[in-house]
């Protein structure tokens, strides 16, 4: 009888911690002990809400149920300075609104497919990467990654041995203030690894803002194949969009202020990008330490059959450049781009490069190539958001060369009508694109 009463007392205590019945759509809990209990008994579709405050997880909070949401009461209200969540073999779990301060990080293992990480903050220095994704079909959206000064990556897309995470969607995140000063290892996003370069990830990285991405020369480092990097904004950063390893990726419609785009590997498409104030390296054909990388090579692969088309490049010095090494770019295309600025030589390509030039407009300096361009003022005008666009009498309008069937829209994106205009912008009286700001991305964005 005494033992029975004790059991009743324990049940009453647990009931007081979990402030709603187990079948409720929303279950509110005050602390991590109650949170673990609620997760253990959760049903698909439930939302488990942790109270605001700084929470201590002396041991990992284990996620053992699928198709549930685990959320902070308010975005940014529930804080972990150490510890956090540990995923089991689950599917369709959403983590929402937490803050991972101090040494607290998050890892999504391969068995936790279709996880969503949203409205969460990863702040400060960590022992390792802030967020690691190894599962398929993970969505990472509306998060803030901020204020790292030590080595480590904000977001690492990985995978189990011999595989890579498939179909990761990364959008509307704010990557801010990575100030690591070492030579390597401070990327905002690293997609894959050199030894996974031949694997197709099919990731989409879009509509993210990178500000003060200075922990590495690569803000977005792609080391896998068949990915899409589009409509991101990078400003105040030394970090570039870099296709470091892998093949057949697309870099489309990004706005870069002060950095640029560099690529290695084969069969990429780089189009509709706007790069301004880039100094002397807006587009970089990466150096070839070898003709073609093997599956485990860490050397620089020569660019083969890469098309750079319909970009607007504003800068000084050699706006289109290459890193010199043994193997020059081969069978590449540079077409229908606008280059505007001042330079004694806008395009500097190493001896032996085979690049087809056509339809380009170059104005304000010496082209550096003998054909495939016109030296004519593109007549760009600034819009209300500071982007240089085509004026109504621009010679770029409907004067592109060649056929690039995949370029069906411009950087706004608006449809390209008839014969496409040269550069990233298709002339229109209604400009709709603006650079992303902190109000458009991150935890508090719409």
- Is pLDDT of 12 > 70? no
How far apart CA 290 and CA 197 sit, in angstroms, is 15
Give the model confidence (pLDDT) of 337-368 as tens digits: 999 998 889 999 988 999 999 999 999 999 99
Residue with more model confidence, 444 or 293: 444
Mean pLDDT score of the chain = 93
**For residue 387, what are its two tokens?**
């982007």
H or E, element range at 210: strand 209-213
Question: Is the preceding peptide bond at 37 cis, omega within 30 degrees of 0?
Answer: no
User: What angle do the packed helices 32-40 and 2-17 form, to 10 degrees?
Assistant: 100
Contacts by residues 69-74 (CB-CB < 8 Å, ≥ 24 positions apart): 69/93, 69/94, 69/96, 70/35, 70/39, 70/94, 70/95, 70/96, 71/47, 71/95, 71/96, 71/97, 71/98, 72/96, 72/97, 72/98, 72/99, 73/28, 73/49, 73/97
Give the model confidence (pLDDT) of 18-35 as tens digits: 445 556 899 999 999 999
For residue 50, is it within any domain? yes
H or E, element range at 8: helix 2-17
Res 187: pLDDT? 98
pLDDT category of residue 77 using cuts at 50, 70 and 90: very high
Distances (CA, A) of 427 to 23, 233, 352, 424: 56, 21, 36, 10
Please give the angle made by the CA atoms of 213, 218 and 219, to the nearest 5 degrees. Answer: 40
- Residue 46's domain comprises 17-111
For residue 105, is it within any domain? yes
For residue 68, is it within any domain? yes
How many CB atoms lie under 10 A from the CB of residue 99? 23
Res 86: pLDDT? 98
Res 317: pLDDT? 83
Q: 192 near 160, Cβ under 8 Å?
A: no
For residue 176, is it within any domain? no
How far apart CA 266 and CA 323 sit, in angstroms, is 16
For residue 289, is it within any domain? no
pTM score: 0.94
**For residue 422, what are its two tokens?**
């040269």
Res 22: pLDDT? 53
Q: What percent of the chain has pLDDT over 70?
A: 94
Give the model confidence (pLDDT) of 380-421 as tens digits: 999 999 999 999 999 999 999 999 999 999 999 999 999 999
Give the model confidence (pLDDT) of 118-162 as tens digits: 999 999 999 999 999 999 999 999 999 999 999 999 999 999 999
- Is pLDDT of 326 > 90? no
Find how far residue 278's CA is from the centre of its chain.
20
3-state secondary structure of 66: coil
321 beta partners: 284
Give the mean pLDDT of 73-82.
97
CA atoms within 13 A on the CB side of 432: 11
Res 9: pLDDT? 40
For residue 6, is it within any domain? no
Res 23: pLDDT? 66
pLDDT category of residue 69 using cuts at 50, 70 and 90: very high
Pick from 202, 131, 130, 115: which is nearest to 164 by CA? 202
pLDDT category of residue 279 using cuts at 50, 70 and 90: confident
Q: What is the dihedral of CA 21, 23, 27, 31, to 10 degrees?
A: 70
CA atoms within 13 A on the CB side of 158: 17
For residue 390, is it within any domain? no
Q: How many structural domains does the chain have?
A: 1
- Is pLDDT of 220 > 50? yes
For residue 182, is it within any domain? no
Distances (CA, A) of 317 to 238, 348, 389: 17, 9, 22
Give the mean pLDDT of 418-446.
96
DSSP state of 290: B
């Amino acid at each position: 009888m005494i033992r029975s009463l004790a059991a009743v007392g324990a049940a009453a205590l647990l009931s007081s911690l979990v402030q709603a019945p187990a079948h409720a759509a929303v279950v509110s809990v005050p602390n991590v002990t109650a949170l673990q209990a609620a997760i253990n008994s959760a049903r698909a579709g439930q939302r488990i809400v942790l109270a605001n405050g700084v929470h201590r997880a002396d041991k990992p909070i284990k996620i053992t149920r699928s198709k549930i949401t685990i959320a902070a009461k308010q975005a940014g209200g529930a804080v972990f300075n150490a510890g956090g969540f540990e995923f089991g073999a689950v599917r369709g779990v959403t983590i929402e609104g937490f803050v991972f301060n101090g040494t607290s990080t998050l890892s999504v293992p391969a068995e936790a497919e279709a996880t969503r990480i949203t409205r969460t903050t990863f702040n400060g220095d960590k022992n390792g990467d802030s967020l690691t994704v190894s599962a398929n079909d993970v969505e990472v959206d509306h998060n803030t990654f901020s204020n790292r000064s030590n080595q480590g990556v904000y977001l690492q897309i990985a995978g189990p041995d011999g595989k890579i995470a498939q179909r990761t969607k990364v959008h509307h995140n704010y990557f801010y203030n990575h100030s690591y000063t070492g030579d390597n290892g401070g990327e905002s996003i690293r997609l894959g690894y050199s030894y996974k370069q031949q694997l197709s990830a099919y990731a989409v990285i879009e509509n993210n803002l990178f500000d003060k991405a200075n922990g590495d020369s690569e803000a977005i480092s792609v080391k896998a194949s068949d990915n899409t990097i589009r409509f991101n904004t990078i400003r105040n950063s030394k970090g570039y969009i870099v296709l470091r390893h892998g093949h057949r990726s697309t870099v489309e419609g990004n706005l870069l202020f002060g950095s640029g785009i560099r690529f290695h590997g084969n069969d990429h498409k780089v189009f509709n990008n706007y790069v301004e104030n880039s100094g002397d390296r807006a587009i970089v054909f990466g150096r070839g330490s070898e003709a073609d990388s093997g599956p485990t090579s860490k050397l620089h692969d020569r660019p083969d059959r890469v098309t750079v088309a319909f970009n607007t490049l504003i800068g000084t010095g050699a706006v289109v450049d290459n890193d010199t090494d043994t193997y020059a770019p081969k069978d590449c295309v540079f077409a229908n781009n606008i280059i505007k600025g001042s330079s004694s030589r806008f395009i500097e390509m190493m001896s032996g490069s085979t690049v087809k030039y056509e339809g380009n407009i170059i104005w304000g300096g010496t082209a550096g190539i003998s054909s495939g361009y016109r030296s004519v003022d593109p007549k760009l005008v600034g819009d209300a958001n500071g982007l240089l666009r085509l004026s109504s009498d621009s010679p770029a309008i409907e004067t592109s060369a060649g056929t690039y069937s995949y370029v069906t829209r411009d950087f706004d994106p608006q449809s390209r009508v008839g014969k496409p205009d040269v550069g990233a912008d298709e002339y229109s009286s209604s400009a709709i694109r603006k650079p992303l700001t902190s109000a458009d991305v991150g935890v508090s964005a719409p």
